[in-house]
Structure 1
Amino acid sequence: MTRQWLKRQIISYLPVFFLLTFVLLTVMFLSIAQLSKNAVVSANGVFARHVQQVVDYNLKTTERLVLNAVLYNEKLKQYFSADDKEDKYYWKYEISNELAKLKVSNSMIDSIYLYRISDESVLTENMLTPLVNFGDQAFIQEMVSSLPKAQKWSNARLYQEIKHAETSNKVVTFASRVTPPSGELGVIVVNVKVKAIEQLVNEMSSSSDVSYANLIGADDRNIYDPQNTGDGKQLHQFISTYTGWELHTGIKNNTLYQFGSWVYYVFFGIGIAVLLLGTLWIIYTARSNYKPIQSILGRITSLSSKPSSLFQDQSVDEFKFIEGAFEDLFERVTEYEKEQEEGLISKKRHMLKDLTDGSLILQEEEWKKEMSSLRLSSEFTNMCIAIVEVDRYAEFGQSYSNRDQYLLKFIINSVLKEIADQYQIEMWAEWLESHRLCILFLTQTDLEQSDNNISVICNRMVDWVQKNLEFSITLGVSQCYADSAQIYHLYEQAQMALNYKSVKGNNQVINYAHMNEIQQGEAYKLFHYLRSLSYYFRMGEDRWKDEFEIFFQQVLEGMYAKSEVYYLINDLINHLYREVMELSDEFQANWKRDILPRMNNILKGMETVEETKFQMLDVLLYAEQLFLELRNTRKHHALMQNVRIYIEEQYSNPDLSLKHLEDEFGMNGKYLSFLFREEIGVKFVDYLSQVRLENAKVLLTERQLSVQDTASQVGYTNSMTFIRGFKKYFGMTPGDYRKM
């Protein structure tokens, strides 16, 4: 039996199969091409709105920063409302310093100045000048005349602080009258660098090789010269309601975009032609094979869950088309959900940063709404903030790659979450800084139980890191509050607790409540240790080591914050520097080349007081040995040391003078004075006065002698000379010193 009918069926349907396959591929390609084109336009629109929001947000932040400063900074307000003070130069220097602080606090700010209408003067962070001499005179006059009607931010312009200066900065400017009650007395002007705005926009554009963005001012001129637009095609145009600027965005490669459209239409035409050809072939085939084809189409129709008008056309495989569409839809939905999840993570981090720095304060209802949007629990009885700081972060950064650092930080987050879950405590943790993890604990227990549980969690975390990782952490923990509006206060408390890390040490938990109860020392009381330590070191006496130990012990017992410890160590370095600069050139050269850079590096990397103490001691012992070797090579070193010892023993002799030393040591007085200055680093007369006054200080403290008797005991024949010298050396009279 032959199978002619089967062969005929195969032969008759093969062309239809090929035609239908080609049509399906063409339609799928066209759909994907059109969807891709639409996705590009949609993504560019999202990009454009994001750029506009970021630019407006940064400018609004700058505006609020400056206006808040004028509103709450008394020095700036007094500049407009008060007459010049008696010490006007220092007063205006302070105001300029405040402007400089504002400028430093925001990297986008190019310059800030104040214009006072009453005397037409302009105060910048650099100078005070009349308006007629100010480089920005024309702008001020224009702003004063049109300020109530003018737009908030100017178009791009050139700013010069000094008239006819060779250079000028391209800026956009915000000008505002000072808030009441001094609203009619002057204008505050803040200039924002166009370069900063350009960099901000370019950073967002550089993250995508597809889109570009350009800002146009109200004068239809570019805020900055657009870059990397290539042969781009503009797709969107927005006007900011805040700045009045236009934002143009589009794609960089217009040629590729047009080529895609051309290919789309070519394939669309070919698809239509093939579709018609297939329809004709199916009609021809159906005449001879009607029933089998009808059966197949019936089965396809019965399997389709969403019938379409396309089923009226016998040349279209509707089921395959729908299946392909669903696969594409599933991929897009999956991608969208992933993007939403990533956006939520970023939103959480920015929200916590705003809450901790006080720029966002949420009341109860607002708190619940925001926590719901972040998929976090909003219910709590008490809340507390802890800050995890990675100890020796510079070493941490050098020891681990960026990928390993991210992994270790993720581990810390995960372990903390696991420990907190054991105590039914919700936590919200974000790395707000590269070396600091901010944790917001939300508890359902009373205040005492909350404090205990959080303390246990933090201590367990410190122990876990110490046992399982190759670095350590220190935690600063705030008190517990029951008000979400106090989050930024809790964050400040945690930061203040961490400030005592330098004296408390690493690898532990520091509670703000405990530190707040400790009586802090007064730094100025340690200055005399610095002076005596530095003096004894210059003289080469071992007593400097005792003074060194006492100084650092006082620092530890005084419980000073990190900033004060930094100030004290820096003052120690300065005292030592001044004393060594009294020695000869070879001592000075060795100190500047070998010793001072090492001390500055120790100060720069200061972690704890104990570590800094041992590091500084090693450097000073090295310097002591170096200086001893230099002194031993000097011909008159031993003789001058004998002279110094003789002065310290005979200081009470009122006849002690260069003539006396000349007779005692058999050397010309002038030459002896020269050698003494070279070796000891101070003139004979000054050293004698110093020894006498130091011993007078001891007598005033330990014995109840009169000032005249004290002067006589240390070699002064005239009590007035003694009083003047004492006040010049110690900054107070002998009587005042005794009262201390």
Structure 2
Amino acid sequence: MKRSDFKSRLFLKYIWSYLFILLIPLVLMTLFIYRNAVTNLRSEIEQSRLGQLTQAKVIVDGRMKELGEITSRVSYDERLTPYRIHDPYYSGEAIEALDQYKATSSIIGEMFLYLHKDPNIYSAKGLSSLDVFSKSYSFSNWNKETVYDDLNGVKFPTMRPADKVVRNAHLEDNMLAYLVPITPFSPNPHGTVLYLIKESELTSLIDSILGSYQGFSYILDNNGQILVDNRQGEALTAAEAKSLHGLTTGIHDRVLNGKPHSIVSVKSENIGWTYVTVMPSSQFFSSVVHVRSFIVMLFTIIVLAGAALALLLARMQYRPISTLAEFVHAKAKPKHPAEEAPLFGNELDRIRSALQEYSSRVDLQEPYARNHVLTMLLKYGNVQSLTPELADAFDLHFDRARHFVIAIGWDDAGETQEELHERQERIELLTQIQFPELHAHAYGAELPQLDQLALIISFDEVRSMDEFAQVRHIVEAVRGNLLETFDVTPTIGVGTCYGSPNQLNQSFIEACSALEPRASAGHGTVTYFEKLSHEPDHTLWMPSNSLMKLSQSLKQGSYDVAAQMISPTIRGLRASELSSLLRRCVCFDILNAMLKSAAEAGIPNLIQEIDPNMIYSHSLSELESGFLTLASRICEQVERNSRNEEQSQMDQIVSYIDEHYTDHTLSLESVAFAFAISPSHVSRTFKEKMGQNFVQYIWQKRLDEVMRQLKATDDPLKDIISRVGYLDAPNFIRKFKKETGHTPGQYRKLFAENDTFS
């Protein structure tokens, strides 16, 4: 993997994309697992607390029921009647009875019996006055007067909250006071049984519920007072603690002290007490440390493996794009390395920009490329060279049964700009036309001469008319379109129909042969090659149309067509019964036609290289070979002359462009008009000779001149752009930046700084 790949934003974007594809479900899955572990742990803890609270409730309910039963027995025990208690003889039995009752319950710390309005109070230890009792049991929140009032006034069993008690002036303990009137449930009780219960007897039931967790455990009476509590951490306010009284049995969530808490509540239906535990919910998350550590380790391993996989996938995805981007960059490099443009945007942006540029160039060059293909078919007739992709791109199809070529000429060769524009409209009209009623379609091709066009026509035969009639109807339809649309009368030469599109070159030669004598035939005539004289002239002994076709093929450098004229004629002479003299005369006709064509093609001295006795001293087979060799030499020389002429003409065109590139009206059409050749021919030849198309060459000339003036002058940019023939300044600036990597202003400043430093 290249280090430069990591400098690519696109490559990094691919890596991050794959990482996000991995991380998003991984994070969600991790959160799900972690959340599920926390939820399960919380559920287990809450259910455990609920079970323990229920167990504590059952135990406390049992103890309270036990105290209630003891109180009932006390109220009906004859030994504890007011008479016997006050009788000195039986008072000992009363004290003994209280001791026995006290021993029956482990929860009782001390047990007292008080009879209303009595100055004394009785216990298992004996009789004492209320003053002595108050001194022996000093409550922090229950003074002597309140004790007296509660002992005389309580109507229902009442449990006082845990309070600090100092016993015998030096022993300190936390105890609850449970007052039960006697007789129980009587509207007019005559006394009260007082049970002192150590707080630890109840807190021991709830101490283990929280375990190692922070929180609170409460036992609330039926009025919401906290009887006992167990605190591990911050305490609740009295109002918040009292709000827990109304909770139903179960698990609840509530915000206390501004934090979410988990609350488990159990309510006793027998005595109305509420048993509650409160824990901050955040502890559940901190409790799954082992799960969290495992998840972090697993997450790290997966991320590292995913990063490696993302790197591999990103490289596989990025490599073709990188290769294509490098190719685009290589093709877009400026001529001068010092002016190489920095890369803007990511690789896809540069590829998209290059494709748009190439597409615009293709759209601009497509008509000329299409015309070049058709011109090659007319010259060589090799339809197999037209690939299916190319045929589809140019919409060229030769799937009909018959094919022929029409050569069209006119006298107005475009002497003015208006006539040149009209000629372009004719070309566009004839680019592709359909004749549905005649089962035919045609493709137009520009010829190098401004006053000529060729039309390739393919059609399927119609059973109701013969072939020549159908050809004539097609030709008349073409002629009618030109007359109706442009009010121009064309002269037309029509080649012979052939069954294979590979013979289009022959039909083209024939069409040109039929068109050539248009001056003598008259303006606006239609000449059919196959209607020219087929009968041998008595002085020539060869059909005149064959000689015309031979002559035209040699002038155009088409050796294949020339050979197809020479070889059949010589073979026919060998098979004929003509005399030797007449055979020699026919050979003279062929030789004369070839020499005449060579002279007209610009090869005047060819006759000096021919043996004067060739006709007499050679056999027909030797003559055939000699004629074919001569035809080959003529065609090669014609091709060579054509290339030289094109090169010379192209040198003139390049010089013309170099002189006029600052003219904003300069175009392919104006150059073609200036040199009296077709725009298609100029485009094709310019590309072949110069290695770049016409538009690119002019753009480069103007760009170089702008760059020169930016470095050499201080003139305004708009004036410089206008002087080089470019009218659209914003578009020029955009293209300038794309080519050089700098705006014109930056380019000028850059070179000014370079000059300063140098």
Global fold match (TM > 0.5): no
Higher RCO by CA contacts (8 Å cutoff, separation 6 or greater): 2
TM-score, normalization by structure 2: 0.28
TM-score, normalization by structure 1: 0.29
